[in-house]
Amino acid sequence: MPAKKPLFVIVGVRSEPGVSTVRLFARKGYRIALISRGKEALNKLTKELLHNGEEAAAFQIADYSPDSIRSAFTSIRSHFPPATSPLRVALFNVDHSVQKHFLDINDKDVRHSFDVNVAAFAFSHEVITAFSKLGFEDSSEGGKGGSRKKGTLLFTGTTASIHVSTTTSAFAAEKHGLRVLAQSLAKEFGEKNIHIAHSIIDGDILTEHNRGNDTHLDSASIAKSYLNLVQQDSSAWTWEIDLRPAHKKW
């Protein structure tokens, strides 16, 4: 029987901070389950992790429908049995960024934004159900003495989670919806020892094309903030963080 190690599940690996967060948690000893529609990004990251000696598996889905999400989790449980790979951390890292003036938005744009939040409900249901069946994290799973935590569910938000502009009517509705879902779950499941946290990424991500610019967020630093959330003991949980570069005007 393989050694017992915690499992990290993420949906949405085509964009940061998802990729950096996966790399960090893999280095911290988590087994990694990757869910995504994009085959190329999914396979590339999986191969990288396996090459580095990490334990990872890819689960491609056709769309973000509830059936696809549930099917992915069925496959994950088969590949990573809960007895030896208990799910302890999950990250919802999906969005459909529509940046258009209202009269230019079509039904497809609105439907895709709506589908993201339907996926968030399905993902959350699978994750929380899995957490509910577990005991408290032990030290080998990142738990700390006195901590009464069964697992952590993280959501990646953006500036549009709390602010709107003239071109974000569809996107802001999507991100506002995700934020209030996270808050409602945090209020309901905190007393059941399940940690729910939402992050507002207030700015653009640093890339190789904009390095040296002090107004962009380093995705590796965002990942460290996610790890800090996971490591919080139950006497002082954070439900929301907002992250931005020191030099960004806000």
Closest CA to 148 of 156, 137, 162: 137
Domain spans of the chain? 7-243
Residue 195 has pLDDT above 70, yes or no: yes
Whole-number average pLDDT of the chain? 91
Q: Is the dihedral of CA 222, 228, 230, 232 positive or negative?
A: negative
For 98, the token pair is 């529509």
Model's pTM, two decimal places?
Answer: 0.94
The confidence score (pLDDT) of residue 225 equals: 98
Q: Is 157 in contact with 175 (CB distance < 8 Å)?
A: yes
Measured CA to CA, the distance from residue 227 to residue 193 in angstroms comes to: 18
* Confidence band of 69 (pLDDT split at 50, 70, 90): very high
Q: Hey, what CATH topology would domain 7-243 get?
A: Rossmann fold (3.40.50)
Q: Is 96 in contact with 112 (CB distance < 8 Å)?
A: yes
pLDDT, tens digit (0-9, with 9 covering 90-100), for 79-88: 999 999 999 9
